[in-house]
Structures are given as structure tokens and as C-alpha cells.
Amino acid sequence: MGFSKLKIPKICEYCGKPFEAKTVVTRFCSSYCVNKSGKERRRKAEEEKRKQTILELSATKIAEVQTRPYISVTEATVLFGISKNTVHRLIKAGKIPAHNFGERLTRVSRKHLEAIFTAVELPKEPKDKPIKLQYDNKECYTINEVSEKFGVSPSTVSKVIRRNSIPKRQVGKYVYVPKELIDSVFLKR
């Protein structure tokens, strides 16, 4: 076999260092990088296979647990995503019925746990949409102007704005709030 005079600039796929390849299909700069890349690829494949087997075992176990009326504390933690302490606290408070058949043989009612930990559906859109500030800067006060006009501190003004859900807009370092809303809130006092 003849010696190639080609020198193709490439970057090693493992270490990322530039090198000159003698063939078009060369991917690594040295045999060290080839070996390390192969080991890493095999390790990732084994880990993926291990995760898949754990997932398959867990799926069958969860399906089996969902059919039984009473489950262990450990199974309850897996099924509902809660801690063992939470389950024990609920048992002690009498919120879920449990039967103790011996050491580490506590069984709890799956039906009662499902009633407590049902999925709460969140509304897709908030009921009260925030009011966007459509006021001109001439129709607004800054926080400092409000505090000077009504003789209160800027932190008090900020608290009142938050408490009354008054819309605000920040432009640069100034926060603008509508005059009519601020006047109506502070004149009530």
C-alpha cells in the first residue's frame, strides 16, 4: 500500500483539536481518541439499555400497584410522587386509613390517597388579564412624584401599587403609574 501525500485539515471528534488527516474518512487525531470515543459510545449504549429496562420494570410495577386497593408506603411515594414522611404524617393525622401488619408492612388505602392527591387542572388563561398601561407619560406620575405629592415614602407607594394592582410601566430608571388611579387610591385615605 502506498503512502498518501494528502494533508486534509480536520478537527478531532473526541478531543476537538485540529489535525491533518491523510484520508478523507479519518475522524480522530490519534488511536487514543479512537479508543476513548469507542468506550464512551459503549458506556452510553449500556446506560441507555439499563434505563430502558428500569423503565419497563417500573411500568409493569406501577400498573400492578394501580389495581390494588391497599399499597405500601414506598409504593405510595412512587405512585404519587410524595415523600414517606408525608404519608406517615397523613396516617398519624388520620386523614388516610392505614393498617400495620408488622414492621415495614404498613398498607394505606390507594383510594383515599387518590382523593387527596388528585390532579388539579389549572385554568389555561388567567381570569383577570393584566391591564396594559395605555397612558401617555403626561397622564402619569413617577414613584417619587407620588411620594412628594402625598407625603409618603417611595416604598409605601410601591406597596400601595402592588396591593391595589395598579398598572405600571418602567421607562429607563423611572416607573410610571396613571395619575387618575393613584389619585383615587390616595384621596380615599
Residue 140: strand pairing partners: 178
What span, in angstroms and rounded, lies between the C-alpha atoms of 142 and 42?
63
Would you say residue 112 lies in a domain? yes
Say if residue 179 is in the same domain as residue 155: yes
Residue 92 pLDDT level (bands cut at 50, 70, 90):
very high
Would you say residue 122 lies in a domain? no
User: Residue 108 belongs to what domain range?
Assistant: 68-116
73 class by beta-carbon count within 10 Å (0-12 exposed, 13-18 middle, 19+ buried) = buried
41 has a pLDDT exceeding 70: yes
Say if residue 26 is in the same domain as residue 49: yes
Taking residues 57-66, what's their average pLDDT?
Answer: 76
pLDDT tens, position by position, 158-188: 899 999 888 888 888 888 888 888 888 888 7
Would you say residue 176 lies in a domain? yes
Beta-carbon contacts of residue 11 (< 8 Å; ≥ 6 apart): 17, 18, 19
Q: Are 185 and 167 in contact (CB under 8 A)?
A: no
For residue 172, the number of C-alpha atoms closer than 13 Å in the C-beta half-sphere is 3
Residue 35 grid coordinates: 479508543
Say if residue 183 is in the same domain as residue 141: yes
107 phi and psi angles, rounded to 5 deg: -120, 135
Would you say residue 11 lies in a domain? no
174 class by beta-carbon count within 10 Å (0-12 exposed, 13-18 middle, 19+ buried) = middle
85 has a pLDDT exceeding 60: yes
Would you say residue 30 lies in a domain? yes
Residue 127 pLDDT level (bands cut at 50, 70, 90):
low
In the chain, the number of structural domains is: 3
The crossing angle, in degrees rounded to 10, of helices 73-80 and 84-93 is 110
71 has a pLDDT exceeding 80: yes
Strand order in the sheet with 140-142: 140-142, 174-178, 169-171
Would you say residue 144 lies in a domain? yes
What pTM was estimated for this model as a whole? 0.35
